[in-house]
Amino acid sequence: MIEFVPLRKNQRVELADGSFVTVTDKLGEGGQGIVYRVRCDGGEERALKWFFIGYLNDPKKFYGHLKDNIQVGSPSDAFVWPEQLTKWVEGETFGYTMKIFPKDYQPFSKFLLARVNFANVRAMVDAALNMTVAFKALHNKGYNYQDLNDGNFSINPLDGKVLICDNDNVVGHGEYSGILGKPRYMAPEVVRGDKQPDKSTDRFSLAVVLFMLLIGYHPLEGTKTNYPALTNKYEKKIYGTEPLFIFDEKDASNAPHPAIHKNAPVMWNFFPSFVKAAFQQSFSQESLLNGKNRLLEQDWLNILMRLKSSIVRCPHCGEEMFLESDKATVCQSCKKTVKAAGYLNFAPRANHEVTVPIFNGVKLYDYHVDSASEDFATEAAVVLEKPGKFGLKNNSRFNWKVKTPEGKIFARQVGEVLVLAANAKIDFGNKNIAQVIVND
Amino acid sequence: MGILDKVELPRKMCPVIFLLDTSGSMGGAPIGAVNAALESVLPELISMNDSNPDNEIKVAVLTFDFDAEWKFGGEELLLPEEVKDSWNDLDANGPTSMGAAFRALNEKLSTSHGFMKRASGSVAPVLFLLSDGEPTDDYQAGLQKLKNNNWYKIAVRVAVGYGDSNDDVLREFTMNAETVMHTDNPAELKKMIKFIAVTSSRVASQGGNMSTDDDNTGGVATALQAQGGSLNASADEDW
């Protein structure tokens, strides 16, 4: 085994391109190595990850793998991707440089430990969307993650922006890094040893991460799986051979214990039916035991977009809540019932309903006005309320065409407000049409 | 109560239990090194708890000389910050009642009548043994009891031998030669305690070795080997 040699302050380290960095500080230490703060000769600062080389079965191969990933490049800005390797010296420790984390990002673990919280519900849903979009970019580039878990994410609590670090084990399709991942986040077939990690197992891990983010608890850890001693044998059972969703539709034996698993039973009720259904599908026995029916990133994007556009303030207590489009919703904060006057009904996307409740303050995004857009951040319209009527203000890039049930056609320019009348059809541009449906 | 008002998710407990030889021969520099090491380990454990959403480290300290005595966490395991806040330096005096320590540990390593009870469950504990001499009581009988204890069987067992320690006894305790380290130098002793305690606590609390058997000591042996170079730097030198 090659001996691990830590770096010292002021030590100069040669990079693969022949330039040097100087070690200035230690940023942290994890299971895989130590991360130092370094200064390039040009003056700019970087982080340098320095591997516990003894863990690597084949250091040379791993070095080559990192080199390939650097060449192919980062899937998106969300990834804190390796920038430069240190020079390869046979029999010595090596590492790579990357950008230093901005200070306003907090580790996902701090959110799970309730030490950091989101500024508002929108920021939390945006974090879920940002994670989903990042994984879409990763998979589109032909990579898969393999050891996706909570430790990979840092989140800005103010706006839900996400950074993904420790991308060392990301590999191209069909390759295998030899890393299995963290049991709580691994797909059951990987825990069972039936399969190596791939795109489909990444998707399982993504669903776990989204559930942890939104519900604040693990989807498979309920009353039945609450063993006094979590040994490797039980770990295999809980996450591999006998996994059971805590909100399984048919089998309640692993329901959360209200005194121990406090978040899950409370938070679950806050979410609208379509989010519950998405998790029930993701953690169905079919998904857990046969790897089937898992949601693609595209599915999550549509579901989370619908969730984002359902955020309203309860008119009774003022707390933020998710409002169903077509049925009454009980505000979980004050237990009073809230119902939208109606909703905008768009054409489904990838077999997912696209609806937006008509309720004061609800926002539409570029996603809604352009069916080719996945932009969930740029606001395109907002629902306004006056006594006796609702309006939709056009903040989008396009002029809208409106057709009343009587066949009258007129336009609403950017900046104008359209009064929402029953059964009217709104063409937001590009034949992207929604109909105003009034609730009974 | 709103959507954002989540509470800390329930974590499993990861017990880290120190069995420390405080016999007379540890007097002077060695016990000073042990005290300094423990004081430097606790902040590391606090910071691990700060960022680990899976498991929470809880600590107990048992010393043995004339008899075995729980100095911290004997009734209920304590958070590392609780130990840090009430820490008193250990003194060294008396013989090496290691057998008594094993018996005391065995009594507490139990869910029904010991300190292993936790509503959300526990992961394998870390059992850290330090000694500088030959046991002066019947350690075999105590160890035999421990070996039938299921928590002991799955534990991460590590040991540090100092000076005249009988490392064969330490290896009997860990059941793995690779998790026993030895030094004769008090400065090195502090570094070694810190390195082994921190590394094994990190591995145990992060979990996920996915090994097929339930002995977690092997995984830590690999980690100690892979990260061994960390010992090259002196803990006291300026960073």
The ipTM estimated for the assembled molecules is 0.85
CA distance A250 to chain B (A): 25
CA distance B85 to chain A (A): 21
Tell me whether residue B7 is in a domain: no
Buried b (16+ CB within 10 A) or exposed e, B133-155: bebbbebeebbebbeebebbbbb
Q: Do A232 and B53 touch (CB under 8 A)?
A: no
* CATH label of the domain that carries residue B151: 3.40.50.410
- State the pLDDT confidence band at A196, using cuts at 50, 70 and 90: confident
Tell me whether residue B32 is in a domain: yes
- State the pLDDT confidence band at A32, using cuts at 50, 70 and 90: confident
C-beta separation of A246 from A255 below 8 A: yes
Neighboring chain A residues of B113 at a CB cutoff of 8 Å: none
Tell me whether residue B122 is in a domain: yes
Distance CA A306, CA A324 (A): 10
Mean pLDDT within A366-385: 94
Q: Do A54 and B12 touch (CB under 8 A)?
A: no
Q: Do A229 and B2 touch (CB under 8 A)?
A: no
**Residue A427 burial (CB count, 10 A):** 18
C-beta separation of A140 from A75 below 8 A: yes
Q: What is the pLDDT of residues A55-72, one digit of tens each?
A: 787 889 889 989 999 998
Mean pLDDT within A355-377: 94
8-state DSSP, A190: H
Listed residue (A129, A243, A119, A106) closest to A185, CA to CA: A243
Q: What is the pLDDT of residues B65-98, one digit of tens each?
A: 999 999 999 999 999 999 999 999 999 999 999 9
Distance CA A77, CA A200 (A): 23
8-state DSSP, B236: T
Q: Do A53 and B226 touch (CB under 8 A)?
A: yes
Instruction: Report how far Cα A230 is from the mean position of its chain's Cα atoms.
Output: 28
CA distance A56 to chain B (A): 9
Tell me whether residue B86 is in a domain: yes
Terminal-to-terminal C-alpha distance of chain B: 46
pLDDT at residue A5, rounded to an integer: 87
Q: Is the pLDDT of residue A23 over 70?
A: yes
Give the domains, in start order, of chain A with CATH numbers: 12-98 (3.30.200.20), 106-299 (1.10.510.10), 323-438 (2.60.200.20)
pLDDT at residue A150, rounded to an integer: 86
Instruction: Report how far Cα B7 is from the mean position of its chain's Cα atoms.
Output: 30
Listed residue (B56, B184, B41) closest to A230, CA to CA: B56
Distance CA A361, CA B136 (A): 77
- State the pLDDT confidence band at A178, using cuts at 50, 70 and 90: low
pLDDT at residue A177, rounded to an integer: 56
CA distance A412 to chain B (A): 36
Terminal-to-terminal C-alpha distance of chain A: 72
A-B interface: how many C-beta pairs under 8 angstroms?
Answer: 146
CA distance B142 to chain A (A): 23
Q: Which of A231, A241, A275, A333 to mutate to test the interface with B (most CBs of B within 10 A)?
A: A231
Q: Which domain holds residue B94?
A: 12-226
Quote the radius of gyration of chain B (alpha carbons, Å): 17
pLDDT at residue A180, rounded to an integer: 57
8-state DSSP, B31: H
* Residue A49 backbone phi and psi in degrees, to 5: -90, 125
pLDDT at residue A33, rounded to an integer: 86
Q: Which of A113, A322, A334 to mutate to test the interface with B (most CBs of B within 10 A)?
A: A113
Judged by phi (left if over 0) then psi (alpha if -120 to 50, else beta), residue A293 lies in left
Using alpha carbons only, give the angle A345, A375, A74 rounded to the nearest 5 degrees. 145
Tell me whether residue B204 is in a domain: yes
Tell me whether residue B232 is in a domain: no
Using alpha carbons only, give the angle A63, A64, A70 rounded to the nearest 5 degrees. 90
Q: What is the pLDDT of residues A248-274, one digit of tens each?
A: 999 999 999 999 999 999 999 999 999
Neighboring chain A residues of B225 at a CB cutoff of 8 Å: 1, 54
Distance CA A351, CA A331 (A): 28
Instruction: Report how far Cα B175 is from the mean position of its chain's Cα atoms.
Output: 15
Greater pLDDT, A290 or B233: A290
Q: Which of A106, A232, A322 to mutate to test the interface with B (most CBs of B within 10 A)?
A: A232
pLDDT at residue B235, rounded to an integer: 42
Using alpha carbons only, give the angle A238, A244, A245 rounded to the nearest 5 degrees. 120
C-beta separation of B171 from B139 below 8 A: no
Q: What is the pLDDT of residues A401-437, one digit of tens each?
A: 999 999 999 999 999 999 999 999 999 987 889 999 9
pLDDT at residue B233, rounded to an integer: 47
Tell me whether residue B238 is in a domain: no
Coil, strand or helix: which one is B131? strand
pLDDT at residue B237, rounded to an integer: 47
**Considering the entire predicted model, what is its pTM?**
0.91
Neighboring chain A residues of B1 at a CB cutoff of 8 Å: 266, 319, 332-333
The H or E element that residue A366 is part of is: helix A366-369
Write the single-letter amino acid at A171.
Answer: V
Long-range contacts of A5-11 (CB under 8 A, 24+ apart): A5/A92, A5/A93, A5/B229, A5/B232, A6/A34, A6/A50, A6/B229, A6/B230, A6/B232, A6/B233, A7/A34, A7/A36, A7/A48, A7/A50, A8/B233, A9/B238, A9/B239
A357, HSE (Cβ side, Cα atoms, 13 Å): 26
Q: Which of B5, B8, B9 to mutate to test the interface with A (most CBs of A within 10 A)?
A: B9
Give chain B's domain count. Answer: 1
Distance CA A389, CA A155 (A): 39
C-beta separation of A439 from A342 below 8 A: yes
Q: What is the pLDDT of residues A89-146, one digit of tens each?
A: 998 999 999 999 888 999 999 999 999 999 999 999 999 999 999 999 999 988 888 7
pLDDT at residue A143, rounded to an integer: 86
Q: Do B210 and A235 touch (CB under 8 A)?
A: yes
pLDDT at residue A182, rounded to an integer: 67
Q: Do B50 and A118 touch (CB under 8 A)?
A: no
Neighboring chain A residues of B123 at a CB cutoff of 8 Å: 229-230
Coil, strand or helix: which one is A52? coil
Distances (CA, A) of B233 to A372, B171, B187: 56, 26, 12
Query: Among the residues of A269-358, which ranges form H helices?
Result: 273-282, 285-290, 297-308
Neighboring chain B residues of A320 at a CB cutoff of 8 Å: 2-4
pLDDT at residue B36, rounded to an integer: 95
Distance CA A256, CA A241 (A): 19
A77, β-bridge pairs: none
Q: Do B214 and A233 touch (CB under 8 A)?
A: yes
Six-digit token string for A197:
């990690």
Buried b (16+ CB within 10 A) or exposed e, A250-272: eeeebbbbeebbbbbbbbbebbb
- Stretch among A170-174, A275-279, B16-20, B82-86 having the lowest mean pLDDT: A170-174
Tell me whether residue B2 is in a domain: no
Q: Do B227 and A118 touch (CB under 8 A)?
A: no
Distance CA A166, CA A130 (A): 17
Neighboring chain A residues of B121 at a CB cutoff of 8 Å: 226-230
Q: Do B225 and A54 touch (CB under 8 A)?
A: yes
pLDDT at residue A197, rounded to an integer: 82
A172, β-bridge pairs: A143
Each residue's pLDDT tens digit in chain B (239 positions)?
899 999 999 999 999 999 999 999 999 999 999 999 999 999 999 999 998 999 999 999 999 999 999 999 999 999 999 999 999 999 999 999 999 999 999 999 999 889 998 989 999 999 999 999 999 999 999 999 999 999 999 999 999 999 999 999 999 999 999 999 999 999 899 999 999 999 899 888 887 554 556 678 888 888 888 776 545 444 444 54
The H or E element that residue A353 is part of is: strand A352-358
Q: Do A267 and B6 touch (CB under 8 A)?
A: yes
Mean pLDDT within A205-218: 96
Coil, strand or helix: which one is A418? strand
Six-digit token string for B84:
């840090």
Neighboring chain A residues of B119 at a CB cutoff of 8 Å: 226, 259-260
HEC readout, B51-115: HCCCEEEEEEEEEECCCEEEEECCCCCECHHHHHHCCCCCCCCCCCCHHHHHHHHHHHCCCCCCC
- State the pLDDT confidence band at A53, using cuts at 50, 70 and 90: confident
Residues above pLDDT 90, as percent of chain A: 75
Six-digit token string for B93:
């005096």
Q: Is the pLDDT of residue A147 over 90?
A: no
8-state DSSP, A205: H
